Structure 1
Amino acid sequence: MLKDHAKIIHAIAASEEIIGRKKLQKMVYIAKKLEFPFQERFQFHFYGPYSEELTLRVEELCNMGFLNEIKEKKGGYYQYRYTLTESGKEFLSLNEQVSMPNLQDCMSDMNCQNARFLELVSTILYFDNLPKEEVQEKVFTLKSKQRYTEEEVGTAYQYIESLKGKAGH
């Protein structure tokens, strides 16, 4: 029943701490695109791929006491930090059947990136059925406020390839 919840706990445990709801969304989406078995459905939203299901699961995990959500005021907005609680660690040890080899390498690497870059990577992956030129056009159109450069798009494609290597593909 809580297998999908356990996968999210596993992802956050692999990262130790994730700062930002947007970053968490992008990391899980990218991991899913790397063929890790996350079940959440994503739609394209203001900040790229977004999953209402993931938002609800994270909220449930906080309510169950498995995740710590710390709300911090940063300038004019709030930022959220996610870490596992002791109960979360215990739950994870009881759910060892959630085996995702290589997840830790991928999540740790993504966690070192900023949310803006992960938004670009996840947007590229969202349109990965299109040719590169069309994907770049979509990025420049849909994400015009982010002012991504061609160089950043190229870097994002290289990053995706390096993550695929870490994921074992």
Structure 2
Amino acid sequence: MLKDHAKLMQAIADADEIIGRKKLQKMIYIARKIDFPFQERFQFHFYGPYSEELTLRVEELCNMGFVNEVKEKKGGYYQYRYTLTESGREFLGLHETDMPFLQECLKDMNEQNARFLELVSTVLYFDNLPKEEVSEKVFTLKSKQRYTDEEIEEAYAYIESLKNKARVH
């Protein structure tokens, strides 16, 4: 059981800090889709792929004192920041997670905005479909986001660059 918790803690440690629940969800989903061994199940939700399991796991890690969640008021909404606590770092030191190259991928994803990661994760969610159908899904399901064809192409290119980072070394 704690193996999956350790993987999630490793992800947060590798990213240094993740700002936003949505961003955390997208980063873990994308990492899973490019073959990192995250086990959480995802369904398609309002903001793309979402995992209730991941939400509960983060909550458990916060309750155990391994992950620090800071709620900040940002304009008209709240934003959450996730970092590993000192106890979390000690725990990780005792529980090896074998995910080479994860840090490089997560740091890259963490530099992207949540809107772009939402698009990338949506494209990956429908990766069993031809490109044209994926675009149609994006335009239909994410109409409020007003993604462009260029952004969808950028998402495909970004996915390839992450896959290359994950397997190159």
Taking the aligned partners of 2:112 and 2:95, their CA distance within structure 1 comes to 28
Matched, 1:154 2:153: yes
Matched, 1:55 2:67: no
Q: Which amino acid counterpart does residue 43 of structure 1 have in structure 2? A: Q
Shift of 1:51: 0.1
Q: Which residue of 2 aligns with 1:105?
A: 104
* Structure 2 SS opposite 1:161: helix
1:103-132 Cα distance to aligned partner (Å, 9 max, x none)? 000000000000000000000000000000
Runs of 4+ in 1 over 6 A off after TM superposition: none
Shift of 1:81: 0.1
Taking the aligned partners of 2:61 and 2:105, their CA distance within structure 1 comes to 22
Taking the aligned partners of 1:86 and 1:41, their CA distance within structure 2 comes to 28
1:118-163 Cα distance to aligned partner (Å, 9 max, x none)? 0000000000000000000000000000000000000000000000
Q: Which amino acid counterpart does residue 83 of structure 2 have in structure 1? A: T
Taking the aligned partners of 2:117 and 2:108, their CA distance within structure 1 comes to 11
Q: Which residue of 2 aligns with 1:118?
A: 117
Taking the aligned partners of 1:12 and 1:166, their CA distance within structure 2 comes to 18
Q: Which amino acid counterpart does residue 161 of structure 2 have in structure 1? A: S
Shift of 1:56: 0.1
1:17-71 Cα distance to aligned partner (Å, 9 max, x none)? 0000000000000000011000000000000000000000000000000000000
Taking the aligned partners of 2:57 and 2:71, their CA distance within structure 1 comes to 17
Unaligned runs of 5+ in 1: none
Unaligned runs of 5+ in 2: none
TM-score by length of 1: 0.98
Q: Which residue of 2 aligns with 1:143?
A: 142
TM-score by length of 2: 0.98
Q: Which amino acid counterpart does residue 143 of structure 1 have in structure 2? A: K
Q: Which residue of 1 aligns with 2:91?
A: 91
Tell me the C-alpha RMSD between the 2 structures: 0.6
Taking the aligned partners of 1:20 and 1:8, their CA distance within structure 2 comes to 15
1:60-102 Cα distance to aligned partner (Å, 9 max, x none)? 0000000000000001100000000000000100001x11000
Taking the aligned partners of 2:125 and 2:12, their CA distance within structure 1 comes to 22
Shift of 1:11: 0.4
Q: Which residue of 2 aligns with 1:82?
A: 82
Q: Which amino acid counterpart does residue 106 of structure 1 have in structure 2? A: C
Percent of aligned positions that are identical: 81
* Structure 2 SS opposite 1:120: helix
Shift of 1:5: 0.2
* Structure 2 SS opposite 1:118: helix
Q: Which residue of 2 aligns with 1:45?
A: 45
Q: Which amino acid counterpart does residue 21 of structure 1 have in structure 2? A: R
